Amino acid sequence: MKLTSTSPNLLDMQAPMPSESPSSSIVVKDEKEKTIPFLRQLTEMLQNNEELISFVPGQRLPHEIIHGKIIVHDRNRVQSEVLPIYFNHASFASLRRQLSYFSFVRVGKSRQSGVTYTNDAVVDLPDILKLKRRTATRQAGGAVKRQGQKKS
């Protein structure tokens, strides 16, 4: 079935832009700027599951920067209920590895209920979308060192 319109007003109508979606609380200002899918999914997961995994924003003070934190409140429920929705797996180890690729580090080594991850480049949630994946560099002797890692 072919639809035709003789009204010029219908032809002048434009479809809404995809970035103008009301359901998105983080808006990318430049549509040409691409974000990494893992980071988009991570920010969405942090916004929608605050009781299980949350983001605590930091602050930019005149003489100090307090970094934002990702806090995992219930690892088992994140693994079974949240990860399958946002990623193609239910493995907390895989999430931890991905966070490491983007230079997130775990704070503390205790087996407490709330595990915390920070990144020196993240103060607010939108900062996560600006992150770049670490790259591997060769050291003397052929060892591979990931950029951003401390020497051991």
- pLDDT tens-digit series, residues 84-111: 999 999 999 999 999 999 999 999 877 6
Output the pLDDT for position 56: 97
Given a cut of 70, the residues of the chain with pLDDT beneath it are 1-33, 111-112, 137-152
Output the pLDDT for position 5: 44
Q: How far apart are CA 43 and CA 129, in angstroms?
A: 8
Helices (H), 24-123: 37-48, 75-77, 83-86, 92-101
Q: How far apart are CA 120 and CA 30, in angstroms?
A: 24
